[in-house]
Amino acid sequence: MKNLVIVESPAKAKTIGGFLGENFLVKSCYGHVRDLSKTNLGVDIERNFHPIYEVQADKKAVISELKKISGKVDMVWLATDEDREGEAISWHLAESLGLSDNRYRRIAFHEITRKAIENAISNPRSIDMDLVNAQQARRVLDRIVGFELSPVLWKKVKPSLSAGRVQSVAVRLIVEREKEIQQFKTLAAFKVAAIFDVIHMGATHRIKAELPGKFDTKQEAKAFLSLCNGALFTVQKSEVKPAKKSPAPPFTTSTLQQEASRKLGFSVARTMAVAQRLYESGKITYMRTDSVNLSDTAMQLAKEEINRLYGPKYSKPRQFATKTKGAQEAHEAIRPVYLNSHEASDDPSEQKLYELIWKRTIASQMADASIERTQVTIGISSHSEKFVAVGEVLLFDGFLKVYLESSDEDEEATGEILPPMKVGQELHMQEITATERFSKHPARYTEASLVKKLEELGIGRPSTYAPIINTIQKRDYVLKDNRPGEKREYDYLVLKNKKITETKKSENIGQEKNKLFPTDIGIVVTTFLLEHFSPIMDYHFTASVEKEFDEIATGKKVWNKVLHEFYEPFHTQIVQTLTHTEKFSGERLLGTDPQTGKNMYARLGKFGPMVQTGDAEDSEKPRFASLKKDQSLDTITLEQALDLFKLPRKVGLILEKEVVASTGRFGPYLRFEEKFYSIPRTEDPLTITLERAKEIIAEKQEKDKNKIIKEFESNPQIKILMGRWGAYLWADGENYKLPKTQKPEDFSLKDCLNIIKGGTSTKKSRTTKVKTSRKKG
DNA sequence: CAGTGAGCGAGCTTCCGCTTGACTT
């Protein structure tokens, strides 16, 4: 072997290995190989922000293998991605493999074709140190922000919290959207629509027309309907306008995540996992990309496929320009490797995602759709307002034959075909309706719409969108959740047969599925960071530092100087906040307790969100109660807070012993004679009666009686019990699985001892995380 | 997964961006 080629991805290594001859060995380094030391800050600020690098623990084996091979070859070709991070990886490789300048060459290609690779090999260059320095600046800045800001949170808000250039802004977006929704004032107005009969060639066509404006009140809407009663309706204008629709560009990571979410209901993480499998099996190109570019080969293949399937009329090859802020375009757009292949996998998820990618790619190379829009204006003899009917005729479907991008907003109903109407023609009115419509608050973010917003702001990279979503949920700043929605009544007026009837209708509103909600911790942390570190929290912070990084990359600025300029004010603010601010808990005064006259607060406590009566300075100690799962610090009322203190509550006496109702980690419960009895979640411990309590206790006691299947006189520490999922072995507080080989009652004490000796207790293997911060409501 | 309903306190937590791999009854 004379040559070693190093790329980032193993799947890429495999493909390229096939293109190059026997003199080339292609290996992968699996992304970054060195990173800042994790033990400390990893940056020596005194020495001009000198980074302290270490080979990452999981890359030691990779590096030692590459080192061994590189010692034996004539030339090492560093073929990492051609972007800022890729350039840095090449530099780290050269450094950690100890390659002298004449032992390696830097090459790069943007598409994986034989031609592109041969071209790269014949045009080698040296490592671009300006670009590497831009990456070092990015890396060091992120480390400083994260590792100086997080400890401030530990001291001033709560231990173990985190903050960073990307995650803190992502959380801010969700927090502020929730605030907008809370402050949103719903406005009602009446929308008027009419149905007319049009007679054309002896047949009656029903058309729908709308009044462009709205009425603020029911009275006005009603008055309008009265005016229409008996009026004449005449066509005043009929306009025909041609229009065209163009296809969307091929997929990038972000647009793939959005469409897979809307069309297939995939989470961002699932989209990436499925795409990874398609990539590894050679069905699609690389899935982490910000480019909409297609290779010449791909465009040629698409053209042939479109010609074959739909005919040349449908083909329109085109290249799209990337508009994304900060795009680095190291790869192609996400597309099928073979555009003439329609099947990619037996796995339904993979196949569905593949079809989506296939359609999007093919559609992007197809002709525009042409449409004819008709707008008919209908005058009212008794009023100056006019009805408008809109019709749409698809003259040529073009790319719509294959694919239409969906949108986050509700789709406007597209017009239907209108029968021909002449100016002056009188129309017969069937009915006119006035429907009360309400303004809608801004939509909560979904995973995918958050990714879209982050991309617009230039925050995060294709490889990090899915991890960001994961991080902010793991840190308990954000919760992906559903809300049931509620009924709302609205007024509906109809003018028909010269009569106006008024009815109430109801609709379901506010239902949410898989939406992102901020948690109390998320809100408190965001408020704190905004107050003390507004420059980092600025939505344009990333974009403005990116501009600096670009200037480093083009040699106009020196990287450590850029860092110095950032660090000076930032660090001053860190010190300032640590020394001069109190602990922050997002405290909110709810009012006073009517019984004691003491202040009541809602705030974030050591164990999560809670309410408090009385102040710490009072002679009597304050009382505390945790919030329920569906309550939040921002919205809890004095009444709800008072309810929280009503538990535990004395329900009454059974046989002169007290029964107490309360809510615990696992929901509402009763306590009687030192034992616990769960109350079904549908019932309320605040109102449960003694009668009902007796029932629940009796039921559980009956069940417990039947619980013991077998006991051993010689060893009372071993029992066979009946649990929710069948029989199991209990031994001194630990539980063991019983083999299904015989009936539970047939096990002997010796059998049991053997199971204990050989088996592992289920308690120890438990991996479920127990949340302690909140009671479930 | 097998019933559960606490709360010491020392020591640790944390960033973003590249890339896949692999703890089991």
Q: Is the CB of A460 under 7 A from strand B?
A: yes
Residue nearest to nucleotide B18 (CA to C1'): A31
Residues 256-285 (A) near nucleic chain B, CB < 7 A:
276, 280
Nucleotides of chain B in contact with protein CB (under 7 A) are 1-7, 11-21, 25
pLDDT at residue number A759? 60
Residues 185-244 (A) near nucleic chain B, CB < 7 A:
none
Per-residue pLDDT reduced to its tens digit, A315-341: 999 999 998 888 888 899 999 999 999
Per-residue pLDDT reduced to its tens digit, A274-290: 999 999 999 999 999 99
Q: Is the CB of A706 under 7 A from strand B?
A: no
Tell me A127's DSSP state: -
Mean pLDDT confidence for A74-79: 97
Nucleotide nearest to A154 (CA to C1'): B13
Nucleotide nearest to A726 (CA to C1'): B2
Q: Considering chain A, what is the average pLDDT of its residues?
A: 90
| Active-site annotation holder among A279, A286, A354, A403 | A286
pLDDT at residue number A470? 94
Mean pLDDT confidence for A592-621: 83
Q: How far is the CA of A610 from the C1' of B6 (A)?
A: 18
Q: Which of A189-198, A490-499, A646-655, A760-769 has the lowest average pLDDT?
A: A760-769
Q: Is the CB of A735 under 7 A from strand B?
A: yes
Per-residue pLDDT reduced to its tens digit, A692-732: 888 888 888 877 777 777 888 788 778 787 776 677 777 77
pLDDT at residue number A704? 75
Q: Is the CB of A475 under 7 A from strand B?
A: yes
Q: How far is the CA of A727 from the C1' of B2 (A)?
A: 8
Q: How far is the CA of A672 from the C1' of B2 (A)?
A: 23
Per-residue pLDDT reduced to its tens digit, A629-654: 778 888 899 988 888 887 778 888 88
DSSP string, A435-495: EEEE--PPPPPPHHHHHHHHHHTT-S-TTTHHHHHHHHHHTTSEEEEEE--EEEEEEEEEE
Nucleotide nearest to A626 (CA to C1'): B7
Residues 520-559 (A) near nucleic chain B, CB < 7 A:
none
Contact at 8 Å (CB) between A681 and A667? yes
Residue nearest to nucleotide B15 (CA to C1'): A146
Residues 394-453 (A) near nucleic chain B, CB < 7 A:
none
Nucleotide nearest to A153 (CA to C1'): B14
Cis peptide before A51 (omega within 30 of 0): no
User: What percent of chain A clears pLDDT 70, i.e. is strictly above it?
Assistant: 95
Q: Which of A85-94, A305-314, A634-643, A681-690 has the lowest average pLDDT?
A: A681-690
Contact at 8 Å (CB) between A303 and A315? yes
Chain centroid to Cα A117, Å, comes to: 37
pLDDT at residue number A415? 66
CA atoms of A336 and A344, how far apart (whole Å): 9
Per-residue pLDDT reduced to its tens digit, A401-455: 998 888 776 555 566 789 999 999 999 999 999 999 999 999 999 999 999 999 9
Buried b (16+ CB within 10 A) or exposed e, A540-550: ebbeebbebbe
Nucleotide nearest to A461 (CA to C1'): B17
* SS3 sequence of A621-687: CCEEEECECCCCCCCCCHHHHHHHCCCCEEEEEECCEEEEEEEECCEEEEEECCEEEECCCCCCCCC
pLDDT at residue number A705? 73
Most confident among A493-497, A702-706, A729-733, A748-752 (mean pLDDT): A493-497
pLDDT band at A743 (very low <50, low <70, confident <90, very high): confident
Q: Is the CB of A676 under 7 A from strand B?
A: yes
Per-residue pLDDT reduced to its tens digit, A101-126: 999 999 999 888 888 899 999 999 99
Query: What's the order of all strands across the beta sheet hosting A734-736?
Result: A708-711, A718-723, A726-731, A734-736
SS3 A53: strand
Beta strands A588-592 and A512-518 are unpaired
Closest Cα partner for A683 from A652, A651, A639?
A: A651
User: Residue A68, class by beta-carbon neighbours within 10 Å (0-12 exposed, 13-18 middle, 19+ buried)?
Assistant: exposed
Tell me A734's DSSP state: E
Per-residue pLDDT reduced to its tens digit, A521-571: 999 999 999 999 999 999 999 999 999 999 999 999 999 999 999 999 999
Nucleotide nearest to A606 (CA to C1'): B7
Q: Is the CB of A768 under 7 A from strand B?
A: yes
pLDDT at residue number A257? 98
Q: Is the CB of A455 under 7 A from strand B?
A: no
pLDDT band at A623 (very low <50, low <70, confident <90, very high): confident
Q: Which residues are CB-neighbours of A58 under 8 A, at least 6 positions away?
A: none
Per-residue pLDDT reduced to its tens digit, A13-37: 999 999 998 999 999 999 999 999 9
Mean pLDDT confidence for A747-756: 78
Closest Cα partner for A378 from A239, A549, A486?
A: A239
Q: How far is the CA of A273 from the C1' of B17 (A)?
A: 18
Q: Is A50 left (phi over 0), alpha (psi -120 to 50) or beta?
A: beta
* pTM score of the predicted model: 0.85
Q: How far is the CA of A666 from the C1' of B4 (A)?
A: 7
Q: How far is the CA of A306 from the C1' of B9 (A)?
A: 69
Q: Given a cut of 50, is residue A776 above it in pLDDT?
A: no
Structure tokens at A247: 């296809």
Residues 56-95 (A) near nucleic chain B, CB < 7 A:
81, 83-85, 89
Phi first, then psi, for residue A485 (nearest 5°) are 85, 165
Residue nearest to nucleotide B1 (CA to C1'): A725
Residue with tokens 């990287």: A559
For CA atoms A580, A520, A472, A57, give the dihedral sign. positive
Tell me A102's DSSP state: G
Structure tokens at A712: 């051993």
pLDDT at residue number A411? 55
Nucleotide nearest to A81 (CA to C1'): B18
pLDDT at residue number A417? 84
Q: How far is the CA of A522 from the C1' of B5 (A)?
A: 27
Q: How far is the CA of A771 from the C1' of B6 (A)?
A: 13
Who wins on pLDDT, A476 or A703?
A476
Q: Is A476 left (phi over 0), alpha (psi -120 to 50) or beta?
A: left
Contact at 8 Å (CB) between A28 and A8? yes
Does the annotation mark A286 as catalytic?
A: yes
pLDDT at residue number A16? 93
Mean pLDDT confidence for A682-699: 84
Residue with tokens 């992968």: A28
Beta strands A3-7 and A24-28 are parallel
Q: Given a cut of 50, is residue A272 above it in pLDDT?
A: yes
